[in-house]
Chain A
Amino acid sequence: EAAVTQSPRNKVTVTGGNVTLSCRQTNSHNYMYWYRQDTGHGLRLIHYSYGAGNLQIGDVPDGYKATRTTQEDFFLLLELASPSQTSLYFCASSAGTGVSNERLFFGHGTKLSVL
């Protein structure tokens, strides 16, 4: 089973703070994604990547930066955190689109609170 590891599991910061969420997958997947989950909104796509050095903008990118340093590692950066960014963040990976076994493998999530 594909493994996606997120860290930290919980994070509390203050408004204006600088936060980095980390995600590592060890399945040689090309695609990695960052979603946020909020009540009433489901899972919303922030950023995603096809591979190291690549970044694609998702549906709710404002206030977020992301960087894919290697095939395994994908980071989400909040440089000036705001209370509206309090959420549950999920990282996911997949082998690619259009493959017969296409599916997302999710990490366990990072709960972020911005006070």
Chain B
Amino acid sequence: AQKVTQTQTSISVMEKTTVTMDCVYETQDSSYFLFWYKQTASGEIVFLIRQDSYKKENATVGHYSLNFQKPKSSIGLIITATQIEDSAVYFCAMREGQGGRALIFGTGTTVSVSP
């Protein structure tokens, strides 16, 4: 069975610094897809970035990047040059490669960015 674990419940950082949050996953599939989503204070949940298991290069979108360590079953999210509006809950999620499976989410990490 697939499982996603986020052990950091909350992180506090100063504005314009870099924050890194961890996520480890469990799967029996050789092919899988990893995602990060952001939930803002208003409750809105939006997609941020994705990593396919067969890709060796770490995905990057804007000031979001991933640290994909396949041997460790780890997919960390890195946010550089943080802004106040990056304060949110960040969810890691995984979908196993067999078609039709649904996303399974971790418990989330709350990031607070202070000026």
Q: A42-B91, A42-B108 are in contact. Are A90 and B45 (CB under 8 A)?
A: yes
Q: How large is the interface on B (under 10, 10 to 19, 20 to 34, 35 or more residues)?
A: 20 to 34
Within 8 Å by CB of B102, from A45, A106, A108, lies: A45
Interface string of B17-54 (1 = CB under 8 A from A): 00000000000000001010100000111110010000
Q: A108-B43, A108-B44 are in contact. Are A43 and B105 (CB under 8 A)?
A: yes
**How far, in Å, is A70 (CB) from chain B's closest CB?**
20
Interface string of B62-74 (1 = CB under 8 A from A): 0000000000000
Docked-complex contact B107 and A106, CB < 8 angstroms: no
Q: A50-B100, A97-B99, A106-B46 are in contact. Are A35 and B35 (CB under 8 A)?
A: no
Docked-complex contact A98 and B99, CB < 8 angstroms: yes
Measured between beta carbons, the chain A residues less than 8 angstroms from B108 are 42-43
Measured between beta carbons, the chain B residues less than 8 angstroms from A42 are 6, 91, 105-108
Is A56 in contact with chain B by the CB < 8 A criterion?
yes
Measured between beta carbons, the chain B residues less than 8 angstroms from A98 are 99
Docked-complex contact A97 and B105, CB < 8 angstroms: no
Measured between beta carbons, the chain B residues less than 8 angstroms from A102 are 33, 50, 95
Docked-complex contact B91 and A43, CB < 8 angstroms: yes
Measured between beta carbons, the chain B residues less than 8 angstroms from A35 are 105
Complex Cα distance, B60 from A106, in Å, reads 22
Is A74 in contact with chain B by the CB < 8 A criterion?
no
* The 7 A-B residue pairs with the shortest CB-CB distance in the complex, in nearest-first order: A42-B107, A43-B105, A103-B47, A106-B45, A48-B102, A42-B105, A42-B108
Can you offer 25 A-B residue contacts whose CB atoms are under 8 A? A33-B103, A35-B105, A40-B107, A42-B6, A42-B105, A42-B106, A42-B107, A42-B108, A45-B103, A48-B102, A58-B102, A59-B104, A88-B43, A92-B45, A97-B95, A97-B99, A102-B33, A102-B95, A103-B35, A103-B50, A104-B45, A104-B47, A104-B103, A106-B44, A108-B43
